[in-house]
Amino acid sequence: MPASNHIVFFDTTLRDGEQSPGCTMHLDEKLRIAHALATLGVDIIEAGFPIASEGDLKSVQTIAAEIGTGRNAPRIAALARCRQADIEAAARAVEPANSNRIHTFLSTSDLHLAAKLKITREQALDQIAQMVALARTYTDDVEFSPEDATRTDPDFLVQVCQVAIQAGATTLNLPDTVGYCIPEDYGAMFRTVQHRVEGIGGVTLSAHCHDDLGLAVANSLAAIEAGARQVECAVNGIGERAGNTALEELAAVLTVRRDRLPYGHSIDMQHLYPTSQLLASCISFGAAPNKAIVGANAFAHAAGIHQHGMMANPLTYEIMTPESVGAPKSSLVLGKHSGRRALEQRLRDLGHPLSKVELNEVYTRFTDLADRKKIIYDQDLLGLLHLQRSVMSA
Ligand code: KIV
Ligand code: ZN
């Protein structure tokens, strides 16, 4: 088990996230996101895949120069396949940063080797050895990922990790590329590698999970408990297909449940919501309303029983405050499930304390309207009150 309990947040919003549908960004948008990620406190920004295009190379280079050179700047990483041209492009792109990383990867499952790469296991091992060693000539921080690790033959995976370490890899990332793994098995894979790979104690183990079965955060946690000390995440969980581990969710679970998960991290929690909002303004969709931590309903309460509880003590229905993640304050949404107390409170907040008789009358009108409308806005309430008072004074 690693000596330190500090979890390194490796953010891939600008790489795995940006390469997914609806998420492409221009350079100025990427720069704004990279600044926000630095403020958020991520340790490493994977800024792109420089071989993909001149534009990608330029944006990684600009992020490395602008964000990677400040005081306490995050490390800037770039992705490269196990190919010479990719590694050279990645090296050129991250060169301006104070601290940088080349992240190189090669598929290792038999399915990918045969169907996609059309190479043998031996050829894969050679390519990994050569390209990790090449990457090390440019930087002393090299991450290697055996793509589709969770569907790779475990004995071969051990061999792959061994070769990557011997060639100079400093971080070994074991991706669940297709989001297929369940937490127990993902944790077991990290334990196997730790038991069977020589020299594993000298490298950082990393988790990279996809959410195809909705298990990305759970799998990342399982990896941490099994010894991973780096997690790869994206803001709002964007990424290929169903996305990557949502950064805000993992940071929140490590913070809120520190009683059970005794790990530290450098994420400044109050920047979670603003960063999520910024990302939403740069890509073509925002977080779903019911998304944990940053969704519009994450701190909204509609049922009368819950609203009553919240008014008595917010701890009844909230396990963290919205302020702690930088979100707007909790809201009691008025609709057909709301009770008399929430209505009374909202009208009092709007400057209209009501007598009991008045409240009863307005409440009857309110429930009638709520049967017809999904959400009742403040203007609706003021309209109801006005109507009620005109009837009473007539
Ligand atoms: O999902 C994956 O396997 C990847 C690798 C490039 C790490 O994104
Ligand atoms: Zn991925």
Question: What are the tokens at 363?
Answer: 């409440």
First to last CA, the chain: 78
Give the pLDDT score at 244.
98
Q: Which residues surround ligand 2, an ion (CB under 5 A)?
A: 16
Instruction: Extract the residue ranges of the chain whose pLDDT is less than 50.
Output: none
Pocket test for ligand 1, best of 147, 209, 219 (most atoms within 8 A of CB): 147
Query: What is the pLDDT, as a whole number, of residue 99?
Result: 98
Q: How far apart are CA 394 and CA 391, in angstroms?
A: 5
Alpha-carbon separation of residue 79 from 31, 88, 103, 167, 328 (angstroms): 18, 11, 5, 18, 36
Mean pLDDT of the chain: 96
Q: Which two tokens stand for residue 272?
A: 């979670």
Report which of 136, 145, 75, 134 is spatially closest to residue 104, judged by C-alpha positions.
145
Q: Report residues whose beta carbon is within 6 angstroms of any ligand 1 atom.
A: 16, 105, 145, 147, 173, 175, 177, 208, 210
Which residue(s) pair with 129 in the sheet?
A: none
Host H or E run for residue 273: helix 272-282
13: left (phi over 0), alpha (psi -120 to 50) or beta: alpha
Q: Where exactly are the structural domains of the chain?
A: 8-282, 300-393
DSSP 137-164: TT-S-EEEEEETGGGS-HHHHHHHHHHH
CATH of the domain spanning 8-282, picked from 3.50.50.60, 3.20.20.70, 1.10.3720.10, 3.30.70.580 = 3.20.20.70
**CA atoms within 13 A of residue 274's CA, in its CB half-sphere:** 14
User: If you measure from the C-alpha of residue 270 to the centroid of ligand 2, how many angstroms do you get, rounded to a whole number?
Assistant: 27
pLDDT in tens, 293-344: 999 999 999 898 999 999 999 999 999 999 999 999 988 999 989 999 999 9
- One-character DSSP codes across 30-62: HHHHHHHHHHHT-SEEE---GGG-HHHHHHHHH
User: Quick one: pLDDT at residue 394?
Assistant: 78
Query: What angle, 0 to 180 degrees and rounded to 10, lies between the N-to-C axes of helices 154-167 and 183-196?
Result: 50
Query: Distance from the CA of 15 to the center of ligand 2, in angstroms?
Result: 9
Axis crossing angle, helix 216-225 with helix 247-256, rounded to the nearest 10: 50
3-state helix vs strand vs coil in the chain, percent to 5: 50, 15, 35
Spacing, Cα 159 to ligand 2 middle (Å): 22
Separation of alpha carbons 185 and 113, rounded Å: 22
Helix, strand, or coil (residue 231): strand
Q: Please report the atom of ligand 1 found closest to the CA of residue 15.
A: 8
Residue written as tokens 């895949």? 49
Q: Which residues does residue 230 pair with via DSSP β-bridges, in sequence order?
A: 8, 206
CB 361 within 8 A of CB 368: no
The DSSP element (H or E) to which 389 belongs, if any, is helix 378-393
Which residues does 245 contact at the CB level (< 8 Å), separation at least 6? 207, 208, 209, 211, 216, 217, 219, 220, 231, 232, 233, 234, 237
Contact residues for 154 (Cβ-Cβ < 8 A; gap 6+): 189, 192
